[in-house]
A and B are shown apart, each in its own frame.
Chain A
Amino acid sequence: MSNRRFPFPVLAALPLLLAGCTETKAPVPAVSDSEAPSAATTLPEEPETAPRATAPVAPVLQVIDEKQYAEILDKHRGKVVLVDFWATWCMECLELMPHTVELREKLGEQGLEVMLISLDSPQDRRETVEKLLAKNGVTFDSYISRYGSDPKSAEVFAIESAALPNVKLYDRTGSVRKVFSAGRMPPEPFDAEDVEKAVHELLAEE
């Protein structure tokens, strides 16, 4: 069993390593098509860094590819990062999502960063994605794969067997330490408690 599990963290860390290798740090585009362009045009003077806390702003759903994924992970270096890959068509993912949100609320201050990445088509499913995020209390920014539910998403984000849900945990040094994947044979099926336990273990590390 262990020889099956071992290589996958490495696989997922590959984009990270490669990104570190090339030294090309393209800025992560802050623009998202979910931000109302009309609002932006009426306030041209406002700097981009203006605090958003004053008015409730809908969380941003940013389209990302594998390169941006690596860059965002890079930015979270020093924190434990939980990446929850989900899709609107994955019931088990939707059951898991409230737990992911709760972990962020509960353990954010202890250094847990949470990334929710939807593997739905940004063209066709954005609205449904946003609705489900709102329904599950996701008030923070999250992501959607530019490849949607195409197998390309499985390839670049190392979703084994292209089965969802898939949860990856990165330690404070940015290494993948744990991958929970649906479809695994016993004794590896997982539930929300297993994820929480693993998060606690990683947070306890220096």
Chain B
Amino acid sequence: MIRMRRTLLVLALLLSVAFTAHAATAKLGEKAPDWSGIIGIDDAKHGLADYKKAKAVVVVFTCNHCPVAKAYEDRLVALQKDYKKKGVQLIAVNVNNLPADTLEPMKERAKEKKFNFPYLYDSSQQIGLDYGATKTPEVFLLDKERKLVYHGAIDDSMDAEKAETHHLRDALDAVLAGKEPPKAEVAAFGCGIKYDKK
């Protein structure tokens, strides 16, 4: 029994290491990785510095092929609409290189869904690696100083009608009011980002 307890203790230690090691590369409370020169569906290059005026920046890793990401598109459009006047800039980024996830299909999708925010394509996947993005959709909320203040889920249900807790909106409201988000990190399922093997 003592041995078992010791095993469990070791396990607990390993678990804490595991969770620390797997935290996003962009770290909560720290300045988020900068980026620039990423092409958008407007054929122009975008960088984080382009959005200096924004009081908060929402970087959403998304893509065309993932049904979960698609299920959230309308919610992202609504969010940008609702928070634009409050000085929030949403930026959607795709780093997948599947055929459906390249620039032309992205342009089509954005047009179809009337995206009211930039939709960027980083085929080098570097921004995903820098932020430690693992799936779509996955949100990184940066405050006025571009520190990461919230990471993870948009809300608590893939099915828009069933969503009850709107984590991203709650975090935004808090940040805009100069407060800490109710939760800094919320897990949600998504389609794993397919990084190149290299």
Contacts and interface: CB of A to CB of B under 8 A. Distances in A.
Nearest to B197: A189
A28 interface: no
A17 B7 contact: yes
Contacts of A186: 129, 195-198
A166 B187 CA distance: 16
Going nearest first, the 10 A-B pairs with the smallest beta carbon separation are A182-B192, A183-B134, A7-B18, A163-B192, A161-B134, A183-B192, A163-B135, A89-B67, A186-B198, A151-B187
A179 B196 CA distance: 18
A91 interface: yes
B14 A10 contact: yes
B11 A8 contact: no
Interface string A83-127: 000011111100000000000000000000000000100001000
Interface in A157-180: 159-166
Q: How large is the interface on B (under 10, 10 to 19, 20 to 34, 35 or more residues)?
A: 35 or more
A21 interface: yes
A162 B4 CA distance: 29
Interface of A: 3-4, 6-8, 10-11, 14, 17, 21, 87-92, 119, 124, 149, 151, 153-155, 159-166, 181-187, 189
A14 B11 contact: yes
B192 A165 contact: yes
Nearest to A88: B67
Contacts of B107: none
B65 interface: yes
Given A11-B18, A151-B188, 18 more contacts: A10-B18, A90-B191, A91-B66, A91-B67, A151-B153, A151-B186, A162-B187, A162-B189, A162-B190, A164-B189, A165-B192, A166-B192, A182-B191, A184-B195, A185-B129, A185-B195, A186-B195, A189-B194
B187 A154 contact: yes
A166 B22 CA distance: 15
B67 to A, nearest CB: 4
23 contacts: A4-B21, A7-B15, A7-B21, A10-B14, A17-B11, A21-B4, A87-B189, A89-B67, A89-B158, A90-B191, A151-B153, A151-B188, A159-B189, A160-B134, A161-B134, A163-B190, A164-B192, A166-B192, A183-B192, A183-B195, A184-B192, A185-B132, A186-B198
